Structure 1
Amino acid sequence: MTDTLVFHSGLDPFDVWRDALAPHLDGHVRIEEAHAVTDPETVRFALVWMPPAGFFARFPNLELVINLGAGVDRLVARDDLPDVPITRLSDPQMGRMMAGFVLFAVLRHARDIPHFEAAQARSEWAYKHPRAASETTVAVLGLGELGALAATEIARQGYDTHGWATRPKDLAGVTVHCGDDALGALLAKADIVVCMLPLTPETRERLDAAAFAAMKPGAAFINVSRGAVVDEAALVEALRSGHLSGATLDVFTSEPLAPDHPLWTLPGVLITPHLASVALPDSAAPQIAANIRAVQTGGALINEVSRSRGY
């Protein structure tokens, strides 16, 4: 009996993923879209992004859930998740895409692009002298795989780059700060704060009114992690009051962002629809296939998720 990999995503095209995966599975695994599964009992693997409630109950012999991305908070929080291993995707192309987006966002604020965007809307030639990169302090909160890569890329551009993590790390050009006691002082000195924290019970709304108040007046904020890491009402108030000069936001507590949400119209704010980094079929397929073979042969999984940590 041939094992089946079931696929579900509301965003990703099934045929592209099927065609990328098939050469790596050598015909030993059938790849089917969820609604077209012919024999649910053969399904041993699920490649998913935000499947609907009750999704997993259809597949009694499931042995591995592969999250179609790096963030697994929405998956591990579900009460219908089976007691099987979960892996997340992480490949160099995803990392490069994230680092590129974060660098773009940092440059947007470091080079005062919101100032020029506002001036253009007024048809105004509004010169503002650029600063040297070394005169701008950037703090990256969260130095996991993606955060570390983004921080080193920022440092490579010459910015005074700092990182905040739960444990010490050695990153070229990055000054690393650890623990809760170090966060306030780091926020107070940063011109640009980049949130790359995973969403866990400990980090939910970790950036609250007190955290925004601790930030340097006129600082800019970037969030590419998860919306729920931020107290959104506190962020809106920090922007409205002028305490923060602007923000580049890719993630939100509720997505898509409601049309009447105040973040849409606040000065200096750029909204993007959760696309800072996405899984790319051709580069992710070998990792997915390797984990499927590991389950079939009893080998070790790549990027297995810790349910207790939430990532």
Structure 2
Amino acid sequence: MTLTVLFSARPALWDDYRTVLPAALSAEGIAARLVRMADPAEVDYIVYAPNDDLTDFAPFTRAKAVLSLFAGVERIVGNPTLTQPLCRMVDPALCEGMVEWVTAQVLRHHLWLDRNIGRRAWVQEAPPLARDRRVTMLGLGELGLAAARMLRALNFRVTGWSRSPKTDAGFPTFHGEDGLKPALEGAEIVVTLLPDTPATRGILDARSLGWLAPGAAVINPGRGPLIEDAALLAALDAGQVGHATLDVFHTEPLPPEHPFWARADVTVSPHIAAVSRPATAATVIAANIRRAEAGETLLHRVDRARGY
């Protein structure tokens, strides 16, 4: 039987996937036609990224799963019409990209690389060694744990925090509401790699930013709502935060009038820390469809109650 796979995403993504996804399905032994439009009653799987054309999943009564092209599913997970299994994107290449980006940004702040940009003075300042630099990772899912372990391999003093306990991280960890302060207290660099859920929104606010070491660097490649913008701006003005490197924002693209653009102590990165790369993401999608057709458990299925 030939499956019908609906590709529902922004038009710009179609050219990226129209060839690689059918090839990946074929490599998995799946006979399928990849389409951008179809009778909902005939669709077997939906490959999805947020778009305005598909907001009602109720007519897709035959669909066995909705397979997200993105790691974050906060824009879809609460959709009441979505009753099909939802799987998020967990791609080794996406993880690699995130680890590289986080490591580069942490090293940038650790080594004070920005201090000599435009400086016309010979000032010999040596940063501390990594073993003396306290880094806190907020979020110990696949991406956060991989990035934290890379930083630990470079000898940083890594501490982690997650909503639930982590017993095998390889470095000190805290969890839950009571564990947030000891995880952040005295941190010189903080990286946020948490999902956007009601429990994590605003986790870096005026109170928690006050726990950091004075002049700390905040690095956010996770989700924009993890940080309260007003609190971060106030902490920057006060010198409590020395620099913020932000890849994600409450509104994207970041509006031209947003104060982040005008600040020398804020680096704006256009949501590129980790992106789904079509060649590898297609293999993840194809493998999950093969599993579903074989009656096996879907990988990376979203827990609706937790939101990821």
In the alignment, the residues of structure 2 paired with residue 176 and residue 246 of structure 1 have an alpha-carbon distance, to the nearest angstrom, of: 25
Residue equivalent to 1:273: 270
Q: Please give the residue correspondences for 1:7-86 in structure 2 after superposition, counting only pairs within 5 Å.
A: 7-10=7-10, 13-26=13-26, 28-33=31-36, 37-52=37-52, 54-57=54-57, 59-79=60-80, 81-86=81-86
Return 5+ residue gaps in structure 1 as ranges.
none
The residue number in structure 1 matching 2:101 is 101
Structure 2 CA distance for aligned equivalents of residues 11 and 223 of structure 1: 28
CA contact (8 A) 1:240 1:266 kept: no
Change (3 A) 1:66 1:125: farther
CA distance in 2, matches of 1:199, 1:55: 20
SS in 2 for 1:46: strand
- Of residues 284, 291, 294, the one that matches 1:287 is 284
Closer/same/farther in 2, CA of residues 264 and 153 from structure 1, 3 Å limit: same
Answering whether residue 205 of structure 2 is matched by residue 215 of structure 1, we say: no
CA contact (8 A) 1:220 1:244 kept: yes
Alignment partners' CA distance in 1, 2:227 and 2:13: 31
Measured after TM superposition, the shift of residue 4 of structure 1 is 1.6
Aligned: 1:160 with 2:157: yes
Of 103-112 and 265-274, more deviation after overlay is shown by 265-274
What is the CA deviation profile of residues 45-94 of structure 1, one whole-angstrom value per residue up to 9, with x for unaligned ones? 11121121644456443321111121111111334x42000001112211
TM-score normalised over the length of structure 1: 0.91
The amino acid of 1:151's aligned partner reads A
Larger CA deviation: 176-185 vs 206-215: 176-185
Higher helix share: 1
The worse-fitting range, judged by mean Cα deviation, of 3-12 and 291-300 is 3-12
**How many Å separate the matches in 1 of 2:168 and 2:235?**
33
Q: Provide the secondary structure at the position in 1 that maps to 2:136.
A: strand
Deviation, structure 1 residue 126 = 4.5
Unaligned runs of 5+ in 2: none
Distance 1:127 1:46, change over 3 A: farther
Structure-2 change in CA distance of 1:63 and 1:130 (3 Å): same
1:138–1:160 Cα contact (<8 Å) kept: yes
> Aligned to 1:21, what secondary structure does the other structure show?
helix
Alpha-carbon shift at residue 284 of structure 1 (Å) = 2.2
CA separation in 1, counterparts of 2:231 and 2:13? Answer: 37
Q: CA deviation at 1:12?
A: 5.3
Between the two proteins, what is the percent identity of the paired residues? 37
1:195-250 C-alpha deviation (Å, 9 max, x unpaired) = 11111111111221111112111111011111111111111111122110001100
- Kindly indicate whether the alpha-carbon contact (under 8 Å) linking 2:41 and 2:60 is maintained by their aligned counterparts in 1: yes
**SS across alignment from 1:194:** strand
How far residue 123 of structure 1 moved from its aligned partner, in angstroms, is 4.4
The residue identity in structure 2 corresponding to 1:47 is V
Which residue among 146, 150, 154 is the counterpart of 2:147? 150
Using the size of structure 2 for normalisation, the TM-score is: 0.91
Asked if structure 1 preserves the Cα contact closer than 8 Å seen for 2:223 and 2:249, the reply is yes
1:251 deviates by 0.6
1:11–1:256 distance in 2 versus 1, CA, 3 Å: farther
- Whole-angstrom CA distance in 2 between matches of 1:192 and 1:12: 36
- Please, what is the CA RMSD of the aligned residues? 2.0
Distance change (3 Å), C-alpha of 1:248 and 1:144: same
1:70–1:134 distance in 2 versus 1, CA, 3 Å: same
